[in-house]
Every structure is written in C-alpha cells, then in structure tokens.
C-alpha cells in the first residue's frame, strides 16, 4: 500500500490521539457488553421481585383489605351483648302456677349458658319443648308466655339465654351461627338430663333458623315450630348487605362466608333445608308476608317450594303480622304497632315512663295467638303416637 510522505507525517503526528480514541471506543464497547451481561443476569431477580410486589399488592387490595373490612363490619353487627329491657320483662308472678328450676351448661368455647325448666304440677310431661329465642331481646325471658302456654298443655319447657344474652356468659353474640351452636349444646344437655322424654323445638327469628338447622345434628328431635326464621346465615347477610351496599354486597359476601367458616367451622353452613332433609321431624313453618327483618323469600317460601306436598310439614302464612310478634294475636299486633310507634318517638330518658304509663300489661301477658299455639301443640302431640309407653293423659 502506497502512503505519500504527507500522509506519513500526518499519521505520525496524530497516532497517539487516534490510538486513544480507538482505545476509548473499545473500552466503551466492552463496558456496554459487560453492563448488558450483568443486566441479563439481574433481570430475572428484579422481575421476580417485581412480580412478588405486584402479587402482594393484588392480594392486599383484592383479599386482605376486603376481608379485613368484612371482619370489621361483621363484628360491628354482632359485637354486642343483649340484656332484657326491664320495663317489658315478664315475671313469674304474671303466670300463677308456673314453676321453674335454674340450670347451667357449657357451650362450644366453654362459656356457661343459663336456662330454666318450666313446668306445671307433678304430672308426667308429654315431652320437653326447647325454646330458642330471637336476636336482640336479651334472651328467653321474652318467651315466658310461650313457655307458660306449652306447660299448660302438658309439656316441660327448657328455655335458655344464648351466648352474649341475659344471664349467660359471652361478651357478645358472635354471629348468626352461634344460635345453632348453642341450641346443639342445649339439646344435648336436655337429652342427658331428661333422657326419657321426647324433644320438641320452638324457635323464633334467629331461633327459628337455629331450630330448623340443628336437625342435622339431632335428627331424633320429634317436632319443630320455626317462626319467622331464615334458611341460613348467608341468606340474611346477603339481604342486609344489598340493602346497605347494593351490588358491592356480592363482592364482599365471599369474604363474609370465609370469615364465618373460620369462626364457626361446620356450623357456618348450617341450613334449615339441610336440617329438614336429615330428619323425619314434624315441622310447622310460620311467617308473615310483611316481615321486614327476615324476608319471607329466604325462609317460608324456600321451604314451601320443596315441602308443600309433604305430610310432615304444615305452613301458616300471614299477611300483616310483621316479625317481632308474628306469633301474637292480630288484636295484640295492632295494639303493639301503635305502642311501639309511640315508644320509638320518645327520647331515651322518657321511654321507661312511657312504658309504665301506656302499656296494657294484661294484654301484654296475654298476647299469644291462641289458634296458632293450638296448632303448635297439635303438631307436638301428633308425634307422641310414635313414642313407646308415652303417657298422653298428662
């Protein structure tokens, strides 16, 4: 290759600069290649870390936060104790001749529940009616008139305060399935204590759901009167959830269901329809169309659809008995509607005086619908024919 003298001079003069530029370019290429190799090595680790962070965020917002919110809301609903409202409490002297004996027994978490055996006279009873009370009234004392009615018809009656109610232990009621748990333990106690007597159940509202659902654990119960009860906890929670949060309730319900499963185990899924299927008990279902607390669609109508033609079942459907006193006479319901409207209009510090001045105590202690309770007693009596050596003359 021919290089002119002038080019030789130029190359000789510029060689150090060119060499330096070439070296820097080579170094840059090597540095870049090294960086790329390092990035390729680090990328899987960084990507994995990013994926974990994203997954954690998704779980937090899609599961942990909704579940935490569900727990907070659930506990706010069922986080209270309930005591009887003293001005409206029945007293033993309201029912002359009715006797009672106090008992206590443990429930699922070791909490002590208090119950009473009510009876009249010394005759051999037809059986034992276990009363399961509703939510919010404070316990069995609200059903003393019911206990008296069954006792007048030859039955012993065992009525107890559920967890977080009245005389029983528990800082709160815990949730709807707790009623099924407590009734399960109460029936076991009754069977052990009064082993020679058939068992019947009477439940209202929360207790109506429990009385029907518990049949899957005690299929030998002879008869059940379920008044204004729902099929299962989830049905009622969904109804109230939709009223409060609309379609968001459908999003949150799986978390509520999960929390109940964690909290109550097998009892969380307890359902009246499952209880009916597991038992041959005679069943009376009572509900009112205008029930705003437990809609008839999640109780009576479900049962009627499946068992309308069954000889085991009897159905009584009212139109305007409401919820709290669906088992009271129509005259009593009309009176109590007006009475409670006035009570709710009072300031808190005025309510006791309002009750003292306005409540017709004679009507209050005789509020039961005689025809309905005659039907309930008839249901109980109808099962006694299958009980060996049962004296029905009492």
Q: Is the pLDDT of residue 316 over 90?
A: yes
Q: How confident is the model at residue 133 (pLDDT cuts 50, 70, 90)?
A: very high
What is the rounded (10 degree) CA torsion for 144, 75, 297, 281?
Answer: -50
Q: Is the pLDDT of residue 312 over 70?
A: yes
**Dist CA 88 CA 276 (whole Å):** 35
CB 133 within 8 A of CB 206: yes
Q: Hey, which bits of the chain come out as E strands?
A: 99-106, 112-119, 128-132, 156-160, 199-204, 223-227, 282-288, 313-318
- Spatial CA neighbour of 336 closest among 359, 315, 303, 352: 359
Under DSSP, is residue 99 helix (H, G, I), strand (E, B) or coil? strand
Q: 10 Å Cβ neighbour count for 361?
A: 12
Q: Residue for token digits 């060996």?
A: 388
DSSP state of 64: I
| Local confidence band at 394 (pLDDT 50, 70, 90 cut-offs) | very low
Kindly report, residue by residue over 273-300, the tens digit of the pLDDT: 999 999 999 999 999 999 999 999 999 9
CATH of region 84-327+371-386, choose from 3.40.50.2000, 2.40.50.100, 3.40.50.1820, 3.40.50.720: 3.40.50.1820
pLDDT exceeds 60 at position 47:
no
Q: Is the pLDDT of residue 196 over 70?
A: yes
pLDDT tens, 328-337?
999 999 999 9
pLDDT at residue number 31: 56
- Is the per-residue pLDDT at 121 higher than 60? yes
Average pLDDT, the chain: 86
* pLDDT of 56 over the 90 cut: no
Instruction: Give the bridge partners for 117, in sequence order.
Output: 101, 158
How far apart (Å, rounded) are the C-alpha atoms in residues 303 and 96? Answer: 38
Structure tokens at 338: 């007006």
pLDDT tens for each residue of 58-109: 544 455 566 777 787 788 889 999 999 999 999 999 999 999 999 999 999 9
Per-residue pLDDT, averaged over 206-213, amounts to 98
In this predicted model, what pLDDT tens digit does every residue of 211-263 receive, in sequence order? 999 999 999 999 999 999 999 999 998 888 777 666 666 777 888 898 999 99
Confidence at residue 89, expressed as pLDDT on a 0 to 100 scale = 96
Averaged pLDDT, 301-330? 97
- The full DSSP string for 348-365 is GGGHHHHHHHH--HHHHH
Q: How does residue 327 score in pLDDT terms, banded at 50, 70 and 90?
A: very high
**Is this prediction's pTM over 0.85?**
no
Residue 230 structure tokens? 């729902």
pLDDT at residue 9 tops 50: no
d(CA 228, CA 289): 10
Kindly tell me the burial class for residue 25, based on how many C-beta atoms sit within 10 Å of its own C-beta (0-12, 13-18, 19 or more).
exposed
**pLDDT score for 239:** 86
Separation between Cα atoms, residue 393 and residue 22, nearest integer Å: 119
Residue 39 pLDDT > 70, yes or no? no
Q: How far apart are CA 232 and CA 298, in angstroms?
A: 8
pLDDT band at 393 (very low <50, low <70, confident <90, very high): very low
Say how many residues make up the chain: 394
Q: Give the pLDDT score at 55.
A: 55
pLDDT band at residue 13 using 50, 70 and 90 as cut-offs = very low
Encode pLDDT of 373-382 as tens digits.
Answer: 999 999 999 9
Say if residue 175's pLDDT is above 50: yes
């Amino acid at each position: 290759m021919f290089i002119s003298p002038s080019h030789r001079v130029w190359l000789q003069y510029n060689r150090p600069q060119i060499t330096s530029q070439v070296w820097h370019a080579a170094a840059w290429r090597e540095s870049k290649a090294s960086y790329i190799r390092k990035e390729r090595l680090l990328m899987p680790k960084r990507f994995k870390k990013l994926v974990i962070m994203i997954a954690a965020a998704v779980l937090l917002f899609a599961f942990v936060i909704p579940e935490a919110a569900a727990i907070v809301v659930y506990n706010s609903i069922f986080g209270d104790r309930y005591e009887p409202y003293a001005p409206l409490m029945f007293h033993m002297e309201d029912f002359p001749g009715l006797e009672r004996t106090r008992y206590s027994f443990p429930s699922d978490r070791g909490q002590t529940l208090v119950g009473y055996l009510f009876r009249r006279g010394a005759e051999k009873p037809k059986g034992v009616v276990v009363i399961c009370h509703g939510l919010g009234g404070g316990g069995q004392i609200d059903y003393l008139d019911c206990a008296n009615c069954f006792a007048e018809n030859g039955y012993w009656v065992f009525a107890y305060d559920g967890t977080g109610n009245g005389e029983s232990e528990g800082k709160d009621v815990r949730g709807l399935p707790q009623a099924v748990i407590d009734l399960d333990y109460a029936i076991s106690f009754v069977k052990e204590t009064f082993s020679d007597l058939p068992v019947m159940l009477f439940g209202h509202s929360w207790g109506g759901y429990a009385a029907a659902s518990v049949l899957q654990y005690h299929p030998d119960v002879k008869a059940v009167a379920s008044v204004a009860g729902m099929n299962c906890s989830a049905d009622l929670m969904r109804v109230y959830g939709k009223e409060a949060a609309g379609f968001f309730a459908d999003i949150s319900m799986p978390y509520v269901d999960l929390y109940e499963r964690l909290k109550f185990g097998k009892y969380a899924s307890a359902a009246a329809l499952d209880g009916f299927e597991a038992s041959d008990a005679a069943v009376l279902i009572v509900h009112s169309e205008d029930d705003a607390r437990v809609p008839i669609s999640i109780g009576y109508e479900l049962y009627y659809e499946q068992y309308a033609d069954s000889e085991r079942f009897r159905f009584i459907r009212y139109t305007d008995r409401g919820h709290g006193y669906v088992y009271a006479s129509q005259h009593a319901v009309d009176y109590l509607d007006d009475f409670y409207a006035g009570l709710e209009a009072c300031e808190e510090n005025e309510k006791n005086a309002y009750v003292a001045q306005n409540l017709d105590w004679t009507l209050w202690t005789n509020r039961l619908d005689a025809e309905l309770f005659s039907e309930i007693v008839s249901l109980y009596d109808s099962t006694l024919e299958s009980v060996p050596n049962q004296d029905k003359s009492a």
